[in-house]
Structures are given as structure tokens and as C-alpha cells.
Amino acid sequence: MSDVKTVFGALDNYQKGGVEVIDDDPRNYVFSNVFEVAARSKPYERVAVGKNFEYVIEAVRAEGTSPWYACAHDEFALVMDGRVEVRLLKPETPAVVADKAGAVALGAPPVGRKMGRVVAGRGHMTLLPKGSAYQFHADRASVVTIQTIQGEVTIERWADICQTG
Amino acid sequence: MATPVVEASEPDNYYGYRRFRKGKFEFQRDEYFVHIRWPKGTHTMAADVFLRALQRDIAWNFFYGTVNFDGVFGTLNHYGTVDIFAGRFNDAYRKAGRDYNETYASDELMATFKAMLDDWTNRGYDPFAAPEETKHPYGRKDGENRRAIERLRVTAKRMVGLPGDTPLRSDAGGYPVNRHFADVPQDRPEIHAEPGFENEVSAFNLFAYLSRSDVTWNPSVCSVVKDSLYCPTSEEFILPVEHGNDRVEWFMQLSDEIIWEIKHKETGAPRARVICRAGDICAMPADIRHQGFSPKRSMLLVWENNSNAIPALIQSGKAPVVPVVF
């Protein structure tokens, strides 16, 4: 039996590193921790923790049932802690225009065909296919990161989440 | 297109290795070292350090921006052409006018680099592997290890595991779980696809996938949102190069810990150390070079923006060197 210990983080158990400045400004590194961000977020706030021009990585505290979202391009959800169900649906009519960037929260459950569902645990990556609608559900607080494009549901609060000194 | 010419000597009578020449650069190895000569100077590197860096430069197709083999020698990618340099990103060499640079079509330089890696990698030595996992690279010429050095970088078109895309890793496929990840769960997501949606309702265990990586420091594309590329990788020991960014890239530490040493891209002057533990996420600005140290094999998500417009935007000052100002 191997005595190796791989260290993953969790919402209630993470050890944050940090920037040790020699001759620099720590803000240049936009350093945060996805578990800390999720711990301080309301359920299903999609907080940007990475940004590269129009693209973002969002950190999400998954807890209970989310709104339905739709997106015109692919997105990918990576569970970092906990267990999350992803429900997928193909709307009868497109829920967002084709060139819309980022996810859109839908006011009501869309009408369409069930595509299926995925139950994802830590380390599992799920495709959120373009043109679909999706909803998350987690029985207990979990953490998901989403590879996507900045959109109307993306929240930016860099000064609150990043190392500044 | 003509096959690129590789200028190589006959094998040395004693060491058994060929010498290589590209333009006015000359490369020679002996039992322990690689010696580089150019019109304004000479340089010596340990053979393992050189071969690990050379392996990445080849596998990454010269990567994004600058691949510093060390503080003196390296390559600078112009995406179609590539510079090979000595002292270009070293403050002392620059001030003394001792730096030197030649530019080649990427395929042309790649042919010489591949021939050099092939000739100088001995039986049993794998420059992609962590030092604990492979034989040492020293000594006189002793066979080859083409199986190891010709492995390709994984580049998923949409997501690993989708039909027609890059496959999952398994024991049967020749990817056993790495010794440092023996405790990583190999469970699979539950997938319940309705008829007709089997190809779109898809998920895979990324952590299990990474636990089976047989290479280190080799970011591979696993999911794609237009130009947004998730390039997770498994890391152990030292990043074999100092990577000089021509754009912002991001690191999200998925497991364990990596310590990053950050230097000024142009001068090599130290700027910061960044300690990343599981869940930490940080940007590498476009005006730095970085080198990582991973005490245990760890999982790192490297996140790249693949847009070819970015280097010019940054060079012209139209885009900042940092991703966010706050």
C-alpha cells in the first residue's frame, strides 16, 4: 500500500499559498483561491477568478439548485469539491442569440427536450454543450469552476478576492 | 516543401555523439555536458538540463514566447519563424554586446533540434520523466530512446473523451497511475444521456486522467472554448525551462504545491516567488519569465489564450501586460 498523499483542496479545508514579493506588486499576479472565493460567495454567484481578454474562469459555490442557464458556445464545468448534478436540456427554440458571449440566466425553465444529466464528483469535468440549457444541483455546498467567456452573469470583484499586499 | 537540412558531424570517435551546427551556432556533447558556441561566446550546460529543455521546446513547437533553456541560451517563437539566441535575455550579455541571435523557419530549426535530441538521448533515459523515474543521461553514446522522445503533446479539439477526440487514459492503453498519484480516486462521473444526445452529454475524471500522465511539464489541451485552452499537466521536480511569456497565462493549482520563481523577462532580475497550493489561481504577466519547482508530482491547470493577435497587442502597448487592473 502506497503511503503517498495527494493534497486536494476543499471548501472547508484548503491551505492558501501567496505571492512573496522581491521587487514587484502582488496585484500583478491576480492571486486568489477558488475555495476561499466559493466560501465567501452566495450560491451560484459566478465569480471570475481568471480573466484573459474575453475569456474567464468562474468559481461557483454550488449549493441547492441553480437557475437555468443557456450559452451559445461550449463551456466546461470542473468540480473541485463535493458532488454536483448537471441537468441538460435542448431548448425548442434557441435560448440565446448565436453570437452572445458568456452564459445567460434564464428567467424560467426552458421548454425543450431533456438531453440527460451528469453527476460529477471532485475532479470530474462536464461539457456544457453550446446551444443547450443547463442547471446545477448540489445537496451540500460544493465548488465548481467554469471555463467560459465573460458574460452578463460573470461577477468581477478582484480587489475583494486577490492578494493586494 | 524541401526537407530541412540538418548539419551533423560523424559520431565522435570517443564519446560517440555527433556535433551539430545551425548557422553559426555549434552544439557538442560529451559525457556530462553540452557545449554551445557562437561567434561572440561559448556556453556550457549539464546534459540533463539541456535535454529536458530541448525535449519541451520540441514537444511544444517552441511554445508561446521565449523558452530559456537557462539564463543564456534559448528560443523565441514568432509563430512561423523562431529565433535561436545566446544572451538575448541576459542583462550582462546585452550590456556588454555579447548577445547573439539567428532566425529560422520553425520547421528548419525543429529538424536540427529533433536530430540533436535523438542522437544525444541514450537508452533508458527519458527527458520527459522526473529524475526519480528514469536512468541518468550521462556517459558515452549508448543506444537511443525514440519511443520516449517522440511522444506527442495531447491536443483535444473539444474535450478529452468525446467521440473522435483524444481518448481517455487507462492501464490497457499504456497509461498506469503514476506512483505519486496512487491515492487519486479513479471513479467516473455518472452519465445519463437521453437517446440522441450520447455524444453531447459527456464528462470525464480529469484528475484521474492527469494521474496517468507519463510525462512532466508538458501542458496538453484538454478542453477548448474558442481560443481559451485548458492545458492541464502533471509536474514534478523543476520546470526544465524558464518560460518567458509573450502573453498572460494563468495557473490553477489542482493538487499539491508548486513554487514559482519569477524574473524579469528581459533582464532576468528576480521579481517575486509565488507559492501555489491546491485551489490557488494566479496570472503570469506578459513581462516576466517563470520557472516552477514541484516537490511532489502535482496537478497544474495551465490556461492559455491561443489568439495569435495577442503578442502584437502587448508589444505595441495596446494591451496591458497584466490581465486585470484593480
Q: Is the pLDDT confidence value at A78 over 60? A: yes
Tell whether domain B179-214+216-315 is in CATH 2.60.120.10. yes
Q: Please judge whether A125 and B204 are an interchain contact, meaning their C-beta atoms are less than 8 angstroms apart.
A: yes
Tens digits of residue pLDDT in A118-138: 999 999 999 999 999 999 999
Burial B150-188, CB ≥16 within 10 A → b, else e: eeebbebebbbbbeebbeebeeeeebebbebbeebeeee
Residues of chain B contacting residue A148, judged by C-beta atoms under 8 Å apart:
225
Q: Which CATH number fits domain A26-154: 3.40.50.620, 1.20.1280.50, 3.40.50.300, 2.60.120.10?
A: 2.60.120.10
Tens digits of residue pLDDT in A89-112: 999 999 999 999 999 999 888 999
Q: Is the pLDDT confidence value at B193 over 80? A: yes
Mean pLDDT confidence for B231-260? 97
User: B 135-194 residues with CB below 8 A of A?
Assistant: 158-160, 162, 179-185, 187-194
Q: How sure is the predictor about B264, in pLDDT bands with cuts at 50, 70 and 90?
A: very high
Mean pLDDT confidence for B64-72? 96
Residue of B nearest to A124 (CA): B205
Mean pLDDT confidence for A144-150? 98
DSSP conformational letter for B15: T
Q: What is the C-alpha separation between B244 and B257, in angstroms, rounded? A: 21
Mean pLDDT confidence for B243-250? 95
pLDDT attached to residue B152: 79
Residues of chain B contacting residue A16, judged by C-beta atoms under 8 Å apart:
277, 279-280
Looking at chain B, how many residues does it have?
Answer: 326
Single-letter amino acid, residue B168: L
- For residue A85, the distance in angstroms to the closest alpha carbon of chain B comes to 9
pLDDT attached to residue B1: 64
pLDDT attached to residue B277: 98
pLDDT attached to residue B2: 77
Q: What is the C-alpha separation between B43 and B151, in angstroms, rounded? A: 29
Nearest partner of B206 among B183, B231, B235, B173, judged by Cα: B231
CA distances in angstroms from B265 to B89, B192, B201, B241, B288, listed in the order given: 7, 49, 43, 13, 4
Percent composition of chain A: helix, strand, coil (DSSP 3-state, to 5):
10, 50, 40
> 10 Å Cβ neighbour count for A13?
12
What is the layout of strands, in order, in the sheet containing B41-46?
B7-8, B20-22, B25-29, B33-38, B41-46
pLDDT attached to residue B3: 84
Q: How sure is the predictor about B317, in pLDDT bands with cuts at 50, 70 and 90?
A: very high
pLDDT attached to residue A1: 55
Nearest partner of B228 among A130, A108, A139, A150, judged by Cα: A150
State the sign of the Cα–Cα–Cα–Cα dihedral A95, A100, A103, A104. Answer: negative
Tens digits of residue pLDDT in B208-234: 999 999 999 999 999 999 999 999 999
Q: Is the pLDDT confidence value at A115 over 90? A: yes
Site of grid cell 460544493 = A142
Q: What is the ipTM of this complex?
A: 0.98
Q: What phi and psi, each to the nearest 5 degrees, are found at residue B124? A: 85, -10
Q: Map out the domains of chain B as residue ranges.
A: 7-149, 179-214+216-315
Q: Which residue has the higher pLDDT, B51 or A2?
A: B51
Q: How sure is the predictor about B168, in pLDDT bands with cuts at 50, 70 and 90?
A: very high
Q: Please judge whether A73 and B187 are an interchain contact, meaning their C-beta atoms are less than 8 angstroms apart.
A: no
Residues of chain B contacting residue A27, judged by C-beta atoms under 8 Å apart:
322, 326
Q: What is the C-alpha separation between B181 and B255, in angstroms, rounded? A: 10
Mean pLDDT confidence for B273-285? 98
